[in-house]
Amino acid sequence: MSKTQNNKKTRIISLRFKTVAIILITAIVISSIAITISYRTYSSTMDEHYKTLANNLAKTTAAQLDADALQRYYDAAKKIGTYDDEKYWNDSAYRAAYDKKAEALKDREYQETLNLLFSIKNSNDIKYLYIQKLDEGNLTCTYLFDADSSDEQYQLGTVRELAGAAKESEHPEEGLRAFITNDGEWLASSVVPVRDTSGNPVALVGVDISMDDIMHDRADYLKLTLAFMGIAVIALCFLILISVNAYMITPINTLSNATRYFVENHSDNQTESFELSKLNIKTGDEIETLADSIKQMERDINEYITHLTTVTAEKERIGAELELATRIQADMLPNIFPAFPERQDLDIYASMTPAKEVGGDFYDFFLVDDTHLALVMADVSGKGVPAALFMMMSKILIQNAVINGKAPDEALMAVNNQICANNREEMFVTVWLGVLDLQNGLLTASNAGHEKPIIMMPDGEFELYNDRHGFVIGGMEGLKYRSYEVQLKKGSKLFLYTDGVAEATDTENILYGTERTLKALNSVKDKSPKEIIERVKESVDSFVGEAPQFDDLTMLCFEYKGFDDTLTLDASLDSVSSAIEYVENKVEPLPFSGKVRNRIVIAVDEIVSNVARYAYEGGSGKFSIKAEADDAGITITVTDSGIPYNPLEKDDPDITLSAEERGIGGYGIFIVKNTMDDISYEYKDGKNIFVMKKNFA
């Protein structure tokens, strides 16, 4: 038998051994718990029984004693002096004198009480029964009766110091709760008071019951239980071992031998001499399922060998899957344009042309909320399927980080730590990430080793923006990145790209370069983002010519058109309050006094009310109002498509005349003229456009 076969045999024996060992350990643990619980239950029950018995006997004895007589014996005992045991037995004169005095005290009633105690002790199998009284100070006690016929009997007047539980008790005169002690022998003890007619304790009755027999019974019970459990465990292990061997080990050995024979002889075309499919293992459990699976494996292997010529078709299938992967990757990127047709404040377009079937470059853009747009441009190290998988993971992580409210630098730091935590292939990705506030055009961005962005301001040209670069994502855990801000204005454009643009090479290995990129951009700087990207792509393709594409070609162009929060309403008096509320919200954060705010609202009320009443001559229509604040103040524009009317042409009323002489009308626009710092009117493209401005003080 080979070394490998010996190892397999060892593992089979080990499985049997481990199975029995686990069962044995489990049985021992369960048995130990059961024995412990049963022994403690038995012991606790017997302890409580003996303590209750001792307490009841002590109470019964105390109930039959005369408290006055006990007090009388105690007083007499103190008169004859404290009993000295050693002197009593060694000094005959002392003994004779003490006996004479004691006999004088032991009257008929005393002897009857003593006989009563002996009767109670003998009839209830009590070990010790005695009566004592605490001396003054509760530090010592004097024995009055001791129902003990041996030489160890305490004589009348014997004084002993309190010890043990009696010494620790705060009120020893009230007796002690039943307890169990072991001072050479096991005793269940109880001490209860004898009370006079007033309920005051006079003396103490002590009862000790021997528990030596019950302790021996406990030991016998424990031994018997251990022996029974041991036999049961051994029998259980033996039965389980037989069952495991019959229903588990033997079938597994059969499967092992069959599969080994199949593997060793299959290459020599000798499988006809032994077929796994002829195995007949019926255990009704997972082993039978395993045998069926092995049979199926045999059929699958034979079928695979028979159809080995399908490798070519498999390659074609892989090619088709790569083509599908290309489409899936393209679908992972935003590819429907216009991307946000309902928005007038932005325009965006992007494209990605992979160097292979799938690439590692990617772009992304998405609305974080209604007023913030995230822009991403990234380049994964490597090419092909690995780069595509890494690209998809990176894209999702970046998007999740930004949507969860992280700033660009925080998002890159979080993504870097996530990728570094499980990056055994040591891949990395360069990323440019920006979040644009669409309301004010403030772009907050962070760069992780990516190409510099190209920005065009209104009435300017595309130029490289020298931003600060951080380290690539996935290169080192725990890196921090920096954010920077760029203020975009209406008409600003942003061009993002990967190194596949600037590093595209022609047949002579000359780079396309940044200068050619800027030239191509500026040649169509006034065009839409889509036209700009198409022009750059045409320029790159023309430059490269017949040279193979070396790297992925990815570009994104964004145009900021500005945020327009114009309010459009029906030209009716019901809309006046909405227009006023809109202006109040715009004026509230500005540094105007309360008086000036009220004047602005009055001016808006006057102009909007006039539009609602007269602009459409009783017909229906709409008007719009827009409030824009700048460093100087606030400008309010009211526009309608009604009949042409210039309110500034109306003469101002002569306020020096009396009310009757002035007549009616003209006061509204007069108030507006005196309230606002600058007003103007024009009729353009079929619209009345009224503009009024209020400057800061």
**pLDDT tens across 155-171, in order?**
777 888 888 888 888 88
In this prediction the pTM is: 0.47
Helix (H) or strand (E) holding 433: strand 429-437
Position 479 scores a pLDDT of 94
Question: CA–CA separation, 408 vs 223, rounded Å?
Answer: 75
Question: CA–CA separation, 159 vs 42, rounded Å?
Answer: 39
In Å, how far are 104, 315, 623 from 620, measured between CA atoms?
Answer: 134, 70, 10
Helix (H) or strand (E) holding 444: strand 442-448
Tokens of 223: 């031994």
Tokens of 439: 């309301």
Question: CA–CA separation, 64 vs 194, rounded Å?
Answer: 9
The 3-class secondary structure across 335-349, one letter per residue, is CCCCCCCCCCCEEEE
User: Strand, helix or coil at 657?
Assistant: coil
Question: CA–CA separation, 641 vs 305, rounded Å?
Answer: 82
Average pLDDT, whole number, for the chain? 83
Position 556 scores a pLDDT of 96
Question: CA–CA separation, 55 vs 206, rounded Å?
Answer: 9
Average pLDDT of span 683-693: 94
Position 402 scores a pLDDT of 96
pLDDT tops 50 at residue 364: yes
pLDDT digit string (tens) for 99-136? 776 676 666 778 888 888 888 888 888 888 899 888 88
Pairing of strands 633-640, 687-695: antiparallel
Question: CA–CA separation, 208 vs 130, rounded Å?
Answer: 9
Average pLDDT of span 275-286: 66
Q: How far is CA 188 from the centre of its chain?
A: 57
Band of the pLDDT at 317, cuts 50, 70, 90? Answer: low
Tokens of 526: 């006034």
Position 163 scores a pLDDT of 83
Position 8 scores a pLDDT of 47
pLDDT tops 50 at residue 335: yes
Average pLDDT of span 268-278: 50
Pairing of strands 346-353, 159-161: unpaired
Question: CA–CA separation, 116 vs 61, rounded Å?
Answer: 9
Position 494 scores a pLDDT of 97
User: Strand, helix or coil at 277?
Assistant: helix
Pick the more confident residue, 39 or 314: 39
Around Cβ 186, how many Cβ atoms within 10 Å?
19
In Å, how far are 279, 655, 664, 688, 691 from 646, measured between CA atoms?
Answer: 103, 22, 18, 8, 12
pLDDT digit string (tens) for 592-631? 999 999 999 999 999 999 999 999 987 889 999 999 888 8
Cβ-count burial of 444 within 10 angstroms (0-12 exposed, 13-18 middle, 19+ buried)?
Answer: middle
Neighbouring residues of 489: CB distance < 8 A, sequence distance ≥ 6: 441, 457, 458, 560, 562
Which residue from 608, 610, 588, 607 is spatially nearest to 597, judged by alpha carbons?
588
Around Cβ 593, how many Cβ atoms within 10 Å?
9
Helix (H) or strand (E) holding 495: strand 492-497
Average pLDDT of span 434-450: 93
Which of 22-36, 304-318, 513-527, 614-628 shows the lowest per-residue confidence on average (mean pLDDT)? Answer: 304-318
**β-bridge mates for residue 179, sequence order:** 189
Cβ-count burial of 389 within 10 angstroms (0-12 exposed, 13-18 middle, 19+ buried)?
Answer: middle
pLDDT digit string (tens) for 210-249? 888 788 877 888 888 888 888 887 887 778 777 777 777 7
Cis peptide before 338 (omega within 30 of 0): yes
What is the maximum alpha-carbon separation in the chain? 152
Q: Which residues of 277-294 are buried (b: 16+ CB within 10 A; e: fewer)?
A: eebebeeeeebeeebeeb
pLDDT tops 80 at residue 343: yes
Q: What percent of the chain has pLDDT over 70?
A: 86
Which residue from 197, 178, 196 is spatially nearest to 188, judged by alpha carbons?
178
Around Cβ 619, how many Cβ atoms within 10 Å?
9
Around Cβ 203, how many Cβ atoms within 10 Å?
25
Position 326 scores a pLDDT of 61
Position 2 scores a pLDDT of 47
Q: What percent of the chain has pLDDT over 90?
A: 36
Position 670 scores a pLDDT of 84
Question: CA–CA separation, 285 vs 297, rounded Å?
Answer: 19
